[in-house]
Structure 1
Amino acid sequence: MRHAPKPDVKQDEALTVLGLESSCDETAASVLRRYADGRVEILSNIVASQDEEHRPFGGVVPEIAARAHMRKIEPILAKAVKSSGVSWDDLDGIAATAGPGLIGGVITGLMSAKGLAMALNKPLIAVNHLEGHALSPRLTEDCAFPYLLLLVSGGHSQLLSVTGLGEYERLGSTVDDAAGEAFDKTAKVMGLGFPGGPKVQSWAERGNPKAIKFPRPMKGRDHADFSFAGLKTAVARAWDASDKTDTAKADIAASFQRAMTDTMLDRVGRAITLYRNATGDTGRARLVVAGGVAANTELRAGLKTMAATRNFDFIAPPLKFCGDNAAMIALAGAERLAAGITDGYDAPARPRWPLDKDAAANAPKSGHGKKGPKS
């Protein structure tokens, strides 16, 4: 069993890491430099979208995604290194998403990283995609530990207490579907186009958010879990009963977005109480949002207002770093490399890989099978 070389990390030196991301429908590569004081410089960040490949189907098709990753990953890697201004030999480590995600894409990126690490004799860092999102605000600003994290994307909706690198405690999680999945389903039902999140937001700007009274699942409950399956069903029924006009599309989109925002704000409010009780800290704290749904402007505005009223600083990554990208994977890899954490060439590709794996294994929120707990 071969293992990647152990890094000879000097804490007072900068680290340059190549990151690869291929967990869903973006093929991405980035070169990032992390300085000894924690500052970050993104030297390149290349993202090849697969929107055109998946648009006819109204959603991501795993087999199509896997084949697209195989076609695109080599030129994307070459472009990321060339545009960074550094050479392959200048790299201190190779990081890649090792899960969770669509297994075909994860395998493509991870195997490419293993081949590069072996050929260049560089350390390999197998990164949890969710940790990449969790650290993404640190790409552009100082976001010190600890903080309360709302991680919302196409596959995940979680509330986590983040106390350090690799230190995550789940406060709440979806019991069925993720928020991003609900956005995509809403767009698909009404034929708004793909990707769903931006399409729904665009139509919602033209509609009346009070036109339809959609449910606010779990609102008022004394835990911080989410549920979006019922909201998805309510949207589908509202569309079936509508006159299918542009006005109906706009009103349903606006009403859905408002219901989603109200629901998440309620759940975040409960998580803030749990977070305060757990830490015993009543002083100034940090509320961080990350993931693809974090790009939604109505949600960001609501979270910012809530944070201000609850004595929290609100931190969100720029819109370009909300969706899947390799800069966040390179950052997570650089942080781990700086801590002396690397992986062997036997690091597995994982379709499921909860950040809080112990809690997820003992009390999974959304299913458990041969591939492990989903969340």
Structure 2
Amino acid sequence: MLCLGIESSCDETALALVEDGRLLGSVLASQADVHALFGGVVPELASREHYRCIGPLFDELMRRCRRSGTDITLVSVARGPGLLGSLLVGVAFAKGLALGLGARFLGLNHLHTHLLAVGLEQELTFPCLGLLVSGGHTHIYRMEAPWRCQPLGRTLDDAAGEAFDKVGKLLGLTYPGGRLMDALARAGRADAGLFPRPYLDNDNLDFSFSGLKTAVASYMERRLDGGWPHPLRRVEDAPQALRDCCASFNLAVVDTLCVKVSRALDRQPDLRALIVAGGVAANSLLRERMEELMRRRGGKLLTPSPLLCTDNAAMTAYAGWLLGRAGFQHDLSMETIPRGRAVPDDMVCRAEHPQSGETA
């Protein structure tokens, strides 16, 4: 089965082909330079860029992989959550292709595709715990199968990745700030007592990072004079105080994530594997600490390579292949789901398969 994956949930236009669980090729057009001018993603500009790029990217992917549209068995697309205008461009293109090619069609939960991306590089283990740490979401799941992810904890306000981006903007870093903050943190000395570990004085698995962002803003007013180039693009141009601030903030975020994951594993003692995915999963300290956490528990950590952590179409094509192989699909009336609404489990299994015979 040849599955085309389409990703357009935010500011990356991407397409990929997966056949028999193997990535054949992928193409991507980044809008980072466009939105860097505004310090964040401008939804109207994002949807226009998707519309401009998606057709030529499809042609380029087919050329690179030496395939034609008639070879495609299944068209999978991120249906949400995300920016509505951006999602609609990808979903409309996917529906048009499926209709024109006579291929099956499948809309995917963008969050779940992040968690499944590691299957392109390592063998997936079920059941397992999934930690999604991205720009818009910080969620914990119990994953029974590729098509069955039970939420255990969720973002209440700012997600971890959103906190990185907002703090990066406060510090005058180039957008997006997460990657540079990670590099600055590695060059800094973390003070474990400088910033709070937010929303831990409870017994749940939810997350709230808005207070941590406020703590950094307050610290900047008291202790940092902003005496560095704005916007800051290189670690070498950063004073030691800024590097130490980033290291302390990074540690506070990672400590918080580790506490919640440990709490989840304590409550799900049968789970021996942990998947950490999403853009923040590329963070070096987070990967080290989660590896250490699972090693102490005698379990296994699964994390995608950094290129598969950020938004990409390889994860959409692979997740589509997994679910399509099990017989799941949508009809062309499927609804697109913007951020702020839950993505429904409304896939229908149309084909018998040894791994599935149910409606998701």
TM-score by length of structure 2 reads 0.89
Q: How does 1:1-375 map to 2 (within 5 A)?
A: 15-34=1-20, 40-210=21-191, 213-219=194-200, 221-241=202-222, 242-245=224-227, 246-276=239-269, 281=270, 285-352=272-339, 353-354=341-342
Q: Deviations over 1:261-312 (max 9, x none)?
A: 1111111111111111xxxx3xx71011011110001000000000011121
Structure 2: give runs of 5+ residues left out of the alignment: 228-238, 347-360
* AA of the residue aligned to 1:85: R
Shift of 1:249: 1.9
Identity of aligned residues (%): 41
Q: 8 Å contact 2:282–2:309 — kept in the other structure?
A: yes
User: Per the alignment, in what secondary structure is the counterpart of residue 86 of structure 1?
Assistant: coil
* AA of the residue aligned to 1:289: V
The 3 A distance-change label for structure 1 pair 166 and 226 is: same
Q: 8 Å contact 1:169–1:356 — kept in the other structure?
A: no
* AA of the residue aligned to 1:272: L
Shift of 1:206: 2.1
The 3 A distance-change label for structure 1 pair 269 and 220 is: farther
Q: Which runs of 4+ in 1 moved over 3 A?
A: 352-358
Greater mean deviation of Cα atoms: 207-216 or 137-146: 207-216
User: Per the alignment, in what secondary structure is the counterpart of residue 116 of structure 1?
Assistant: helix
Q: 8 Å contact 2:80–2:343 — kept in the other structure?
A: no
Distance in 2 of aligned mates of 1:312 and 1:171: 19
What count of residue pairs does the alignment treat as equivalent? 333
Distance in 2 of aligned mates of 1:16 and 1:33: 5
User: Per the alignment, in what secondary structure is the counterpart of residue 101 of structure 1?
Assistant: coil
Q: 8 Å contact 2:81–2:343 — kept in the other structure?
A: no
Distance in 1 of aligned mates of 2:14 and 2:193: 39
Shift of 1:165: 2.6
Q: 8 Å contact 1:148–1:287 — kept in the other structure?
A: yes
Q: Deviations over 1:289-337 (max 9, x none)?
A: 0111100010000000000111210110111100111011111111221
Distance in 2 of aligned mates of 1:211 and 1:227: 19
Structure 1: give runs of 5+ residues left out of the alignment: 1-14, 35-39, 359-375
Distance in 1 of aligned mates of 2:326 and 2:287: 32
Greater mean deviation of Cα atoms: 65-74 or 215-224: 215-224
Q: 8 Å contact 1:216–1:260 — kept in the other structure?
A: yes
User: Per the alignment, in what secondary structure is the counterpart of residue 53 of structure 1?
Assistant: helix
Q: 8 Å contact 1:212–1:251 — kept in the other structure?
A: no
Distance in 2 of aligned mates of 1:101 and 1:120: 27
User: Per the alignment, in what secondary structure is the counterpart of residue 287 of structure 1?
Assistant: strand
User: Per the alignment, in what secondary structure is the counterpart of residue 87 of structure 2?
Assistant: helix
Q: Deviations over 1:56-112 (max 9, x none)?
A: 111111111111111111111111222122221111111111111000110000000
User: Per the alignment, in what secondary structure is the counterpart of residue 328 of structure 2?
Assistant: coil
Distance in 2 of aligned mates of 1:118 and 1:29: 18
Q: 8 Å contact 2:9–2:87 — kept in the other structure?
A: yes
Q: 8 Å contact 1:133–1:151 — kept in the other structure?
A: yes
Distance in 2 of aligned mates of 1:256 and 1:356: 35
TM-score by length of structure 1 reads 0.86
* AA of the residue aligned to 1:271: A
Distance in 1 of aligned mates of 2:263 and 2:283: 21
Distance in 2 of aligned mates of 1:177 and 1:88: 41
Greater mean deviation of Cα atoms: 17-26 or 195-204: 195-204
User: Per the alignment, in what secondary structure is the counterpart of residue 30 of structure 1?
Assistant: strand
The 3 A distance-change label for structure 1 pair 357 and 190 is: farther
* AA of the residue aligned to 2:45: I
Q: Deviations over 1:35-58 (max 9, x none)?
A: xxxxx2100111211110011111
